[in-house]
Structure 1
Amino acid sequence: MGQRVSLITLAVKDVQASARFYDALGWQRATGPDDPEEVVAYNLIGQTLGLYSKAMLAADLGIPEDAIGGFSGMTLSHNVRTKEEVAPLLELAVTAGGRILKPAGDIFWGGHIGYFCDPDGHVWEVAFNPFSPLAEDGAFRWGGYGAEA
């Protein structure tokens, strides 16, 4: 597993209210016009910060919002180049002492994801996002790296 964090997801009660806060800070949304209202993204230097409904994130994990003691509603994401890379990285996490929270599988927005937690309970997502291809060096950017990168 490469040493990087691709996408920082903050689970929030009201995505659009939180987005207005970040907009007011002067951040520019990376979210396109066809993206679901449940997802707002901001490209950072080397990462993307995503805002996502806390209820939907808990549902993605298959847990009630209050089921995991200490679950803050934040996940760290490691993005990969192909959907076939997701499951082996989840298994690697288990081998290293982690625990799978949700096995690899397709998700409503067109990607392929799985979740694990480290021995301290920090939640990680391993994700293939066909709409955000990684740069040659593995860097992630919402919307991917195209000819303009």
Structure 2
Amino acid sequence: MEQRISLITLGVDDLARARRFYEEGLGWQPRDAPEGVVFYQLPGIALALFGREDLAEDAHHPVDGRFSGITIAINERSEADVDAVLAQAADAGATILKSAERVFWGGYSGYFADPDGHVWEVALNPQWTINEDGTLTI
């Protein structure tokens, strides 16, 4: 099997609220939005928002309300960029879980939860390269 991720789907409680957060709050533009789902094209990958109950039904896995241990990361080019993304997310209604700080692995990172509780890390890893097109090279 080829090593890649093509799509991350977030189960959301209120699709309209989630869209407002990502589009109005974070400034993301949808690529496609058929009934009940919205897709955002990201560099080399896509993100989908889909009703949480609909996703549970589709996956044949109940919503159990526990943190799954999965986070999604946005890697930035500078500490100032990390701070700016966290501030933008907070202004859009995110909950800041951890303010950005220098971390043991030599980078700088913080965490926020979107309105549906999905945990995002915003980080600068000085050993990694963020390419012109936004893709990551480790």
Are the equivalent residues in 2 in contact too, given 1:46–1:141 (CA < 8 A)? no
Distance of 1:130 and 1:111 partners within structure 2: 6
Are the equivalent residues in 2 in contact too, given 1:100–1:116 (CA < 8 A)? yes
**TM-score of the pair, normalised by structure 1:** 0.49
Are the equivalent residues in 2 in contact too, given 1:75–1:123 (CA < 8 A)? yes
Q: Deviations over 1:66-123 (max 9, x none)?
A: xxx5211010000111111111211111111111000000110100000000000000
- Alignment partner of 1:120: what SS? coil
Residue 46 of structure 1 and its aligned partner are, at CA, apart by 4.0
**1:80 is matched with which residue?**
76
**1:126 is matched with which residue?**
122
How many pairs were matched up?
Answer: 79
- Kindly report which structure 2 residues correspond to 1:84-123, keeping only aligned pairs within 5 A, or say none: 84-123=80-119
Identical counterparts, % of pairs:
51
- Alignment partner of 2:122: what SS? strand
Distance of 1:108 and 1:125 partners within structure 2: 15
Distance of 1:121 and 1:70 partners within structure 2: 10
- Kindly report which structure 2 residues correspond to 1:52-71, keeping only aligned pairs within 5 A, or say none: 70-71=66-67
**1:138 is matched with which residue?**
134
**1:50 is matched with which residue?**
none
Structure 2's unaligned 5+ residue stretches are 9-42, 46-64
Distance of 2:137 and 2:72 partners within structure 1: 14
Distance of 2:79 and 2:131 partners within structure 1: 16
Distance of 1:84 and 1:113 partners within structure 2: 11
- Alignment partner of 2:97: what SS? strand
Distance of 2:87 and 2:80 partners within structure 1: 12
Are the equivalent residues in 2 in contact too, given 1:102–1:114 (CA < 8 A)? yes
Let me know the Cα RMSD of the aligned residues. Answer: 2.2
